[in-house]
């Protein structure tokens, strides 16, 4: 699982809705003093590294990564430390990083305007790098204090200005999750829930069996899997409204995984361009196919509108296309930023 979480980083980089992310950055910087962030289902820590590398965080942030999988948190300690160093931070550990209470402190000084570089620059978040000739350059120190917690996301005790739940709320009971998040958030705190799955799974090249495969795969999410929904994105918007949250911003964040051509002149004797999947994204597609196969295996074959042989043929064709570098995949997601309204108590 950790390998998949690392491999999908570049897919998420492309998919994240820049407008919603910009609003999240604005919400954080608008709050006074040090900011406290809790990330639920934090996995291997790629979201924190992304926010830091893309300069989306205020100058003083306490960031707590929470995941119930010990292996993911162990890997997060390694990846977050290395990722922050790559982003220009000086990293030190208050304790042995393998201990349960290990705390990472990362600092970075920047002079004048923002001069970051990004692997995937989100256009709406770009800031001017130039400083007027009459201006005096100033040095700003950004400090991130990071803790790592192995725990059930809904059993921790904390108070936070923001809760991050990336690719998470489509895996859990939504109402119970929001009830727990409400206990974590300070008044007017925000929930940032990017890459929330919302009911679309498709492949190219197409296959006559695709529609039935998708329908029963989503049925597994809705009726068999423990928690989550195939329509979690729109369900989140509805549930937030019902619980009297303010939806600050929402937008699409579709996954698109496809091979890239190495050249346009033909890479083999047939004259066809040589293709490859960017970074480790072939692993993402392998994981998706494996997940679909496992889900369908949980459904009685007498219920399915296709035979086991037809299902296996569909899977074999998809894997052949993947190995040949021609398989493409699209999944529909939503990014949502919502604010917990302050409760006014009447005397």
C-alpha–C-alpha distance, residues 158 and 42, integer Å: 15
Residue 313 makes CB contacts below 8 A (sequence gap 6+) with none
Domain boundaries, the chain: 2-201+228-254+332-339
Question: Tokens 């108590």, residue?
Answer: 345
Residue 155 makes CB contacts below 8 A (sequence gap 6+) with none
Q: What is the pLDDT of residues 231-287, one digit of tens each?
A: 999 999 999 999 999 999 999 999 999 999 765 444 555 455 667 999 999 999 999
Q: What is residue 99's predicted lDDT score, i.e. its pLDDT? A: 76
Q: What is residue 252's predicted lDDT score, i.e. its pLDDT? A: 98
Mean pLDDT of 316-329: 98
Q: What is the pLDDT of residues 145-202, one digit of tens each?
A: 999 999 999 999 999 999 999 999 999 999 999 999 999 999 999 999 999 999 999 9
Query: Alpha carbon 274 to chain centroid distance?
Result: 30
Q: What is the pLDDT of residues 56-91, one digit of tens each?
A: 999 999 999 999 999 999 999 999 999 999 999 999
In this structure, how many other beta carbons lie within 10 angstroms of the beta carbon of residue 187? Answer: 11
C-alpha–C-alpha distance, residues 331 and 255, integer Å: 5
Choice between 8 and 138, residue whose per-residue pLDDT is larger: 8
- CATH number, domain 2-201+228-254+332-339: 3.40.50.150
Q: What is residue 95's predicted lDDT score, i.e. its pLDDT? A: 80
**pLDDT higher than 60, residue 292:** yes
Q: What is residue 65's predicted lDDT score, i.e. its pLDDT? A: 98
pLDDT band at 341 (very low <50, low <70, confident <90, very high): confident
Q: Is 210 exposed, middle or buried (0-12, 13-18, 19+ CB in 10 A)?
A: middle
pLDDT over 90, % of the chain: 81
Q: What is residue 264's predicted lDDT score, i.e. its pLDDT? A: 47
Planar angle of CA 295, 298, 302, nearest 5 degrees: 115
Planar angle of CA 217, 218, 220, nearest 5 degrees: 70
Query: Beta-strand (E) ranges in the chain?
Result: 35-40, 60-67, 90-93, 103-111, 139-150, 160-164, 185-204, 246-252, 255-257, 260-261, 275-276, 328-339
**C-beta separation of 257 from 277 below 8 A:** yes
Q: What is residue 263's predicted lDDT score, i.e. its pLDDT? A: 57
**pLDDT higher than 80, residue 26:** yes
C-alpha–C-alpha distance, residues 199 and 187, integer Å: 32
Q: Record the pTM.
A: 0.89
**pLDDT higher than 90, residue 342:** no
**C-beta separation of 340 from 187 below 8 A:** yes
**pLDDT higher than 70, residue 313:** yes
Q: Which residues of 102-115 are buried (b: 16+ CB within 10 A; e: fewer)?
A: bbbebebebeeeee
Q: What is residue 151's predicted lDDT score, i.e. its pLDDT? A: 96
Q: What is residue 135's predicted lDDT score, i.e. its pLDDT? A: 53
CA-based nearest residue to 237, from 68, 16, 20, 9: 20
**C-beta separation of 154 from 180 below 8 A:** yes
**C-beta separation of 302 from 168 below 8 A:** no
C-alpha–C-alpha distance, residues 164 and 337, integer Å: 9
Q: What is residue 123's predicted lDDT score, i.e. its pLDDT? A: 47
Which pair of structure tokens corresponds to residue 210?
């695709």
Q: What is the pLDDT of residues 102-142, one digit of tens each?
A: 899 999 998 765 444 444 444 444 444 444 445 556 888 99
Q: What is residue 127's predicted lDDT score, i.e. its pLDDT? A: 42
């Amino acid at each position: 699982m950790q390998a998949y979480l690392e491999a999908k980083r570049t897919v998420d980089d492309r998919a994240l809705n820049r407008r919603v992310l910009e609003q999240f950055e604005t919400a954080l910087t608008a709050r006074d003093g040090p900011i406290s962030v809790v990330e639920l289902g934090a996995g291997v820590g790629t979201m924190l590294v992304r926010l830091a590398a893309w300069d989306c965080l205020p100058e003083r942030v306490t960031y707590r990564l929470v995941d119930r999988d010990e292996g993911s948190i162990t890997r997060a300690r390694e990846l977050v430390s290395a990722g922050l160093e790559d982003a220009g931070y000086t990293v030190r550990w208050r304790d042995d990083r393998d201990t349960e209470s290990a705390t990472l402190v990362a600092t970075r000084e920047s002079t004048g305007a923002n001069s970051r570089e990004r692997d995937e620059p989100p256009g709406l978040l770009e800031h001017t790098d130039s400083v007027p000739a009459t201006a005096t350059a100033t040095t700003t120190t950004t400090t991130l204090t990071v803790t790592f917690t192995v725990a059930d996301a809904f059993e921790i005790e904390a108070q936070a200005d923001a809760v991050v739940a990336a690719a998470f709320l489509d895996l859990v009971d939504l109402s119970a999750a929001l009830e727990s998040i409400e206990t974590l958030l300070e008044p007017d705190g925000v929930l940032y829930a990017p890459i929330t799955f919302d009911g679309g799974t498709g492949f190219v090249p197409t296959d006559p069996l695709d529609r039935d495969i998708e329908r029963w795969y989503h049925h597994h999410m809705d009726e068999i899997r423990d928690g989550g929904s195939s329509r979690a994105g729109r369900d989140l918007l509805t549930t937030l409204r019902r619980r009297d949250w303010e939806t600050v911003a929402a937008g699409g964040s579709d996954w698109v995984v496809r091979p890239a051509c190495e050249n346009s002149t033909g890479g083999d004797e047939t004259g066809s361009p040589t293709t490859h999947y960017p970074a480790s994204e072939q692993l993402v597609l392998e994981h998706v196919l494996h997940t679909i196969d496992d889900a369908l295996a949980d459904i009685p074959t007498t219920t399915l509108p296709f035979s086991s042989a037809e299902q296996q043929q569909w899977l074999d064709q998809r894997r052949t296309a993947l190995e040949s570098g021609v398989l493409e995949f699209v999944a529909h997601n939503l990014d949502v930023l919502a604010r917990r309204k302050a409760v006014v108590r009447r005397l």
